[in-house]
């Protein structure tokens, strides 16, 4: 992120020079010189971003803390880096490189768009059939609740979506709703989103109602209709107690079907002590490698055979083995490698660049996921991190996001192209 900070300062200095030329007077030469030297620093940081070496850490902390009051000291330090350009192996960094990486990213997206998107369900075939059969049983007129349980990254949501598709919810139920719960949620928002899906009401109309009105509206509807409700990512017992009262106040009278995805088995047993939760286990070795291969070769033509050289397959199997059977980690690695050359040196480089210690709990897979972040070009990293300002599962306007990126100074002018157009390309990539 230090390169973004410096890019921001460069932009501010440029504005200062153009807007306050008369006022600056004798300081103008100093600031012009600093502006030029900061451009060199930015080139240095961008270059080291492309080469993951210890050079990336060079004096970064110093630069981030000294801009305020140490103008001359900064100039001296920057001058040292500029003078040592060849020592650190800084390569020329033209705007063409940025355009090339962006073009490559957009090309990958266009190739992906030509292929019908499908959920990867490797190893889930029996689970899908079992859960789908259970949910569409007609014998019981009572509410039926089924839980899919497993640690983060095992594919609970993927399985739930596959079951959702398998039973063809549109034909099997009067209506259906997919409710993302997650750790932080607002009950009124969940009710509003569920009612919008079930009753096809406009969100603007629902926003005018209070929480109690929404509960009554939903309760009246569910009394008369047979619905499928999917609650994705329920974390705590008390969360389910709140959801149950709001969504299913007449659980003994209804004929609804409910599918939950939960990380903790005790929460699933609390939700329904009478129905055994469906426990997910890590994928087998062959299933893991099959999923990995599908991701690695996802951009090739449909009729092109998936094939590895003997040495590349060996490295691929080592990569997969280190993922511990977790589909999330396998998918991240497969997608990452799908964008790179299929060479032994490249795959070995990826293998050696990850801390492969898979910890239990919420931080599991974080080092593997972080690999895909660090692989992003520098100009996308700030844009990507900006998503962290939004709550989990929050829907936002891409147009507003683009305006915010521009306002934050994340987007650099490219020729005659507007910043909004550049931002849209960044978002696509």
Residue range 355-370: average pLDDT? Answer: 63
As a whole number of Å, the end-to-end CA separation of the chain is 19
Strand order in the sheet with 257-262: 175-180, 227-234, 257-262, 144-149, 278-279
Q: Rounded to an integer, what distance in angstroms lies between the CA atom of residue 307 and that of residue 305?
A: 6
How many CB atoms within 10 Å of residue 54?
7
Provide the whole-model pTM: 0.68
User: Are the CB atoms for 161 and 180 separated by under 8 Å?
Assistant: no
In this predicted model, what pLDDT tens digit does every residue of 184-227 receive, in sequence order? 889 999 999 999 999 988 888 888 899 999 999 999 898 888 88
Interatomic CA distance for residues 47 and 338, integer angstroms: 23
Q: Are 45 and 3 in contact (CB under 8 A)?
A: yes
Summarize pLDDT for 377-395 with one digit per residue, the tens.
888 999 999 999 988 878 8
Are residues 248 and 221 in contact, defined by beta-carbon separation less than 8 angstroms? no
* Phi/psi-derived region of residue 233, left when phi > 0, alpha when psi is between -120 and 50, beta in every other case: left
Neighbours of 290 (CB within 10 A): 17
- Work out the mean pLDDT of the chain and round it to a whole number: 77
Worst-scoring range by mean pLDDT, 53-57, 80-84, 119-123? 53-57
Q: Would the pLDDT of 265 be above 60?
A: yes
Q: Tell me the residue ranges of DSSP E strands in 18-131.
A: none
How sure is the predictor about 94, in pLDDT bands with cuts at 50, 70 and 90? very low
Chain segment 252-262, per-residue pLDDT in tens: 556 788 999 99
Provide the pLDDT for residue 394.
81
DSSP string, 58-107: TTHHHHHHSTTT-HHHHHHHHHHHHHTTTTTTPPP--HHHHHHHHHHHHH
Closest CA to 112 of 381, 293, 290, 301: 301
In sequence order, what DSSP letters do the residues of 111-140 get, joined into one string?
HHHTS------TT-HHHHHHHHHHHT--S-
For position 283, what pLDDT does the model report? 84
Length of the chain: 429
The residue among 330, 322, 319 whose CA lies nearest residue 287 is: 330
Element (H, E) at 180: strand 175-180
Helix (H) or strand (E) holding 176: strand 175-180
Residues 6+ apart with CB under 8 A from 290: 122, 123
Residue with more model confidence, 359 or 337:
337
Q: What is the pLDDT of residues 102-120, one digit of tens each?
A: 555 555 554 444 333 445 6
Residue 328 in contact with residue 365, Cβ under 8 Å?
yes
């Amino acid at each position: 992120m230090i390169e973004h900070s410096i890019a921001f300062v460069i932009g501010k200095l440029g504005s200062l020079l153009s807007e306050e030329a008369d006022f600056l007077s004798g300081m103008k030469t100093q600031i012009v010189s600093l502006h030029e030297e900061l451009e060199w620093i930015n080139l240095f940081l961008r270059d080291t971003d492309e080469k993951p070496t210890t050079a990336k850490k060079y004096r970064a902390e110093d630069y981030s803390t000294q801009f305020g009051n140490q103008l001359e000291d900064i100039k001296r330090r920057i001058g040292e880096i500029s003078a040592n350009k060849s020592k650190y192996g800084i390569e020329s960094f033209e705007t063409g490189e940025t355009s090339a990486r962006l073009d490559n990213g957009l090309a990958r997206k266009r190739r992906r768009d030509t292929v019908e998107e499908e959920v990867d369900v490797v190893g889930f075939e029996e689970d899908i059939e079992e859960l789908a059969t259970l949910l569409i049983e007609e014998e019981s007129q009572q509410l039926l609740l089924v839980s899919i349980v497993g640690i983060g990254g095992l594919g609970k949501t993927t399985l739930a979506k596959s079951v959702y598709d398998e039973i063809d919810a549109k034909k099997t139920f009067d209506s259906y709703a997919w409710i993302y719960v997650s750790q932080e949620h607002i009950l009124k928002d969940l009710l509003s989103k569920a009612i919008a899906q079930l009753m096809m009401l406009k969100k603007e109309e629902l926003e005018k109602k209070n929480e109690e009105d929404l509960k009554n509206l939903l309760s009246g509807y569910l009394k008369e209709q047979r619905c499928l409700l999917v609650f994705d990512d329920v974390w705590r017992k008390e969360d389910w107690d709140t959801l149950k009262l709001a969504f299913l106040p007449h659980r003994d009278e209804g004929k609804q079907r409910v599918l939950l995805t939960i990380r903790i088995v005790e929460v699933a047993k609390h939700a329904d002590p009478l129905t055994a939760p469906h426990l997910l286990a890590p994928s087998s070795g062959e299933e893991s490698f099959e999923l990995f291969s599908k991701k690695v070769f996802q951009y090739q033509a449909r009729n092109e055979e998936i094939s590895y050289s003997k040495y590349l397959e060996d490295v691929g199997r080592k990569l997969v083995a280190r993922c511990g059977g977790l589909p999330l980690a396998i998918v991240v690695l497969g997608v990452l490698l799908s964008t790179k050359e299929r060479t032994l040196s490249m795959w070995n480089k990826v293998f050696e660049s990850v801390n492969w210690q898979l910890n239990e709990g919420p931080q599991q897979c974080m080092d593997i996921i972080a690999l895909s972040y660090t692989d992003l070009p520098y100009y996308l990293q700030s844009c990507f991190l900006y998503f962290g300002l939004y709550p989990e599962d929050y829907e936002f306007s891409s147009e507003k996001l683009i305006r915010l990126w521009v306002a934050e100074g994340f987007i650099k002018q490219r020729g005659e192209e507007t910043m909004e157009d550049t931002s849209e390309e960044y978002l696509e990539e």
